[in-house]
Amino acid sequence: MRNLLTMLQATVDAHPGRDALIWKEDHRWHRQTYTALWHEIGSLAHSLLQLGVAPQSKVALLSTNRPEWTIADFAILFCGAISVPIYPTSTAQQIGFILADSDVEILFAETRELAERAKAAAPAHLRCIILFESSESSGAGSPEEAPSCRDYRELVAAGDELRKIFGTPRSYESVGEHEIATICYTSGTTGPPKGVMLTHHNLIWNIEQFHHYLPVLLTDTTLSHLPLSHIFERTCGQFTILFAGGAIAYAEDMAKVAQNIAEIRPTLLLSVPRFYEKVYASIINSADQFSFFKRLLFRAALRIGKQHQQRKTPLTSLLHPLFDRLVFAKVRAKLGGNLRLLVAGGAALPPYLAEFFLALKLPISEGYGLTETSPVIATNPIDQIRVGTVGRPLPDLQVKTAEDGEILVKGPSVMVGYYKNEEATSAAFDEQGWFRTGDIGVLEAGYLRIVERKKNILVLTTGKNVAPFPIESALAQSAFISQAILFGDGRKYVTALIVPDFAQLKLYCEGRDLPVAIPDLLTTQAVHELYAREIEQALQAFAPFEIPKRFALLPRELTLEAGELTATLKVRTHVLLARHRELIESMYDSGEKKADNLSAM
């Protein structure tokens, strides 16, 4: 029988002594081999079976990335059950909705705080919470308490004793490839979240086809830092790595990713464009602090590097290796020195970032997909990256565009449907069974280029259509702009909310004896004139109707915790629209206010 567990078992049999999971605890890195991983999965599965987990039961995971997340995920599947990931940043209301909608019986929670958050809105059918991090004060709960609380380590130990008596359970061997493996809930940006049902076959097919373009090697190590609750990290950063015999290292947290990269020295990195934007900004800002000669050398190296990638000439072939030794090798060393491939997903990658990292000999393979497609639809082959595209559709996956440009997909990795939501499932497919992605794209010489999310297109009252992403991407290239978010749907013209790069802006103000404290910094006329110039310079190549006529500066970075970003760090535009409605409306006032007199307080 072919399923996700038999795939892992094949790796265990082939590479029993190789490292599978790596994590930091008590200030040092620990390692678990494939044999030990399989043993712990089997022990935990024994205990889950004792708790009454049956085939197609629903078991949820509410935790940040850690080895126990991966082990619990496989143990759930080991029982023939269905795993339901929940983002640990979710509110009690969001957690309660998913637990109720998906009929979850047992929940793995990372901490007591997350367990209490789940309990606050837990449905009656949630009967047990298993804590990854327990404490003496947490206890197991009284017998009449519902849901009861259990300790992860105690369950593994109990399962280990059962293994000694009964051997490793074989429940996974009867799990069919077309049985549901997981229900992943969408972000719910356009209504209540929908539970995407994916089978073992959906995921395995996607993994194998993805491997054609981006082969994972036995010697590869990746640093897991995107939420495992997101299907991109789970399919590409967990299942794909383990089925190839590679190793997964878990970042301590997002704030320590750079430090962990230097310590682990991974060969692969899967992340989102926002992460690469921050790496880019860090490199550029560091280069700006160099001496005059080193700055000149860095800029020349970057220029030659980009030219060499675009079109090799005798001059670039001569200079590029020299600049690589003098400049780029030192940059790569700060990123661990072993990286051979970067993968970008979850959102569109600005072309300038792809070109920059290619020049550094750190290719970023941009891909594209959705939760409903397991997730990869297309990706750039490692040896044939085409900047500005999301790559080639996976082999044997049918992809086409509708008359309005919407990307349509049909193939083995497309979901079964939305859990208990036949109406939404029906609406997701056209009459011929093609899945509607909701994205506008173009197929060019076998490569797919994304124009914009269909719902993101700004339709102006003048009849003009504006795709925000290219404009927002161009603005973000400014050293003074961290993020830009465009508005204008149903309006006469486009406006923008600008998140400044506060570090660069403060340096600018300090050098001119301008106020550096917020809100004074944002209300200074010289600062708004600076941003007006930056916007004008960054958008010279765009049509007048695409350029924001007014803008406003926001007083802080957007955050995941405030609900302004998704788990993959995409901006929740509808949240900003609601939160800053008055400010946005003021940019459309017919009065005498000028764009460069606006700021968010």
Domain span holding position 467 = 457-597
For the domain that residue 322 is a member of, what is the CATH number?
A: 3.40.50.12780
Under the banding of pLDDT at 50, 70 and 90, the label for residue 191 is low
**Same domain as 449, residue 326:** yes
**pLDDT tens track for 195-243:** 999 999 999 999 999 999 999 999 999 999 999 999 999 999 999 999 9
Q: Does residue 366 lie within any of the structural domains?
A: yes
Q: Output the six-digit token pair for 397.
A: 């996956």
Do 27 and 156 have their domain in common? Answer: yes
Q: Higher model confidence: residue 88 or residue 521?
A: 88
With respect to residue 191, please indicate whether it lies within any of the assigned structural domains. Answer: no
Beta-bridge partner residues of 418: 196
What are residue 459's DSSP bridge partners? Answer: 465
Please give the tally of structural domains in the chain: 3
Q: Are residues 419 and 465 in the same domain?
A: no
Q: What is the pLDDT of residue 135?
A: 63
Q: Is residue 188 part of a domain?
A: no
Residues 489 and 399 in one domain: no
Question: Tokens at residue 406, please?
Answer: 């919407």
Task: Show which of 399, 422, 455 is a domain's final residue.
Answer: 455
- The answer on 166 and 27 residing in a single domain is yes
Q: Please, is 536 exposed, middle or buried when counting C-beta atoms within 10 Å of its C-beta (0-12, 13-18, 19+)? A: exposed
- H or E stretch including 529? helix 525-538
CATH number of the domain that residue 535 is part of:
3.30.300.30
Closest among 407, 447, 384 to 212, alpha carbons compared: 384
Whether residue 240 sits in one domain with residue 113: yes
What is the Cα 262 distance to its own chain's centre? 21
pLDDT digits (tens, 9 = 90+) for 1-60: 799 999 999 999 999 999 999 999 999 999 999 999 999 999 999 999 999 999 999 999
Residues 294 and 241 in one domain: no
Q: Is residue 49 situated within a structural domain?
A: yes
Q: Is residue 596 predicted with pLDDT exceeding 70?
A: no
Average pLDDT estimate for 460-482: 92
Question: Of 423, 455, 487, which one is at a domain's C-terminal end?
Answer: 455
Same domain, 472 and 352: no
Token couple for 488? 């204008």
Q: Mark residue 415 as left, alpha or beta (left: phi above 0; alpha: psi -120 to 50; beta: remaining).
A: beta
Q: Which of 34-38, 477-481, 517-521 has the lowest mean pLDDT?
A: 517-521
162 and 304 co-located in one domain? no
- 439 near 378, Cβ under 8 Å? no
Confidence class for position 145, pLDDT limits 50, 70, 90: low
Residues 491 and 422 in one domain: no
pLDDT level of residue 598 (50, 70, 90 thresholds) = very low
User: Is the model's pTM score more than 0.85?
Assistant: yes
Q: Is the pLDDT of residue 423 over 60?
A: yes
59 within a domain of the structure (yes/no): yes
pLDDT digits (tens, 9 = 90+) for 262-321: 999 999 999 999 899 989 989 998 888 889 998 999 999 999 988 888 888 898 899 989
Give the domain-ending residue among 413, 432, 455: 455
Does some domain include residue 544?
yes
Domain match, 250 and 365 both = no
Q: Mean pLDDT score of the chain, rounded to an integer? A: 92
The answer to whether residues 402 and 472 belong to one domain is no
What average pLDDT score do residues 537-550 get? 95
